[in-house]
Amino acid sequence: MNKKYLQELVIQNETPLLVIDHAQIRRNYQEFRERLPRVQVYYAVKANPVPEIVRTLFEEGSSFDVASRSEFEVVFDTVRNLPPLELEKFIWDKLIYANPVKKPDSLHLLHAYKPLLTYDSEEEMGKILKHCPEAGLLLRVKVSDEGSMVKLSNKFGIEPEKASELIKKTIDAGLNVEGISFHVGSQCTDPSKFVKALESVAGIFQEADSKGYDIGESITRGYRVKIVDLGGGFPVRYNGQEQSFKGLSKVLMKELDRLFPEDKTAILAEPGRFMVANTGTAVSKVILAKHSTNPPAYHLDDGVYHTFSAMIYDHVPLNLEAFKEGEKAECQVFGPTCDGLDCLSENEYIPNSSKIFLPRLEEGDFVYAENMGAYSSASSTNFNGMPSAKILHVNVKKK
């Protein structure tokens, strides 16, 4: 985001401030659709659940991936004024509850809409059978997430060799298995992980077909195809060294066409970080400048318990810049809380933290960090009684 424009926004608003650029959200959505035309986008609301972002993506035509009742309600509030039949169809066809472990009250809430759900165990299947038996199910399988920024296979996914057996049990119980889902881990920069996962899914389909297991979207939806859910993991270029989405999308399109006939397979994905990471810029103020220390130390009004929580929970690398010009030198940078963990520079407890170099700053100067739209305000806390950064939305389409 243009530095001069940011400075103008800071004059009009107090810090800490998180600026979300909705024009960039729209560009990200369109790029995803253009490069992966076979893939329906289900925005992973967990990446940034603020209603304004959900609204913009809804207006662009996005579907949604929710992981809790609260996230469902954010989406529902966006679409609640649709006519009743359109609302029912939207939740039925454009929403997936992609958390493989769900609370019973969430299933009760969704039962009337026959939603799409993921599961990865016989126990969860039994819960769905009891509380939401008309749902469509995607079986989540475990795949390699080695090398990804955030790993998920330690918690979710059935081993591929056990998938066919669970599919049979699910169908025999009277539930409808519509397809397979997987997740290669967040911020995956190795296309081969997607390729191997897709080959695994194709193998499971082939085994199930050979045994006569009836996988696919129900006839009541108007057609019968198997669903492949690519999950998330689509990379954002934080430092420019990561695998480009352009390169990954070429590989994915080739493999999707090779393994899954278009007339027999529906493809969906759950991008979160990809949609919003580069839309957010965090701006904070120096509330104390210590030049008596070596190196100098700058204390900010935002830190790792707030917007920069992405450094802890999502391993996001931080590129901190100053509005002020000048020769840069190494410095320590701290957040505002009374906890020693609240350190943004070279913190041994935070993956991807590194040395920070800034020009000489004084109290009242401002710094900013780009690529802070994902897993930042979403995981911010009120620790020490300090509120989260104000979120400022720019370039929102007028109604």
Q: Which residues are catalytic?
A: 338
Distance CA 295, CA 289 (A): 11
Question: Does residue 329 sit in helix, strand or coil?
Answer: strand
Question: Does residue 369 sit in helix, strand or coil?
Answer: strand
CA dihedral sign of residues 318, 360, 322, 289: positive
CB 120 within 8 A of CB 156: yes
Q: What is the DSSP letter of 343?
A: B
Distance CA 162, CA 166 (A): 7
Distance CA 247, CA 255 (A): 13
User: Up-side HSE of residue 133: CA atoms within 13 Å toward CB?
Assistant: 7
Which structure tokens are listed for 386?
A: 């300090």
Which structure tokens are listed for 55?
A: 């609204």
Q: Where are the alpha helices (DSSP H) in the chain?
A: 3-12, 22-35, 51-60, 69-79, 84-93, 104-110, 122-131, 160-172, 191-210, 245-259, 273-276, 310-313
Residue with tokens 């810090």, as numbered in its chain: 15
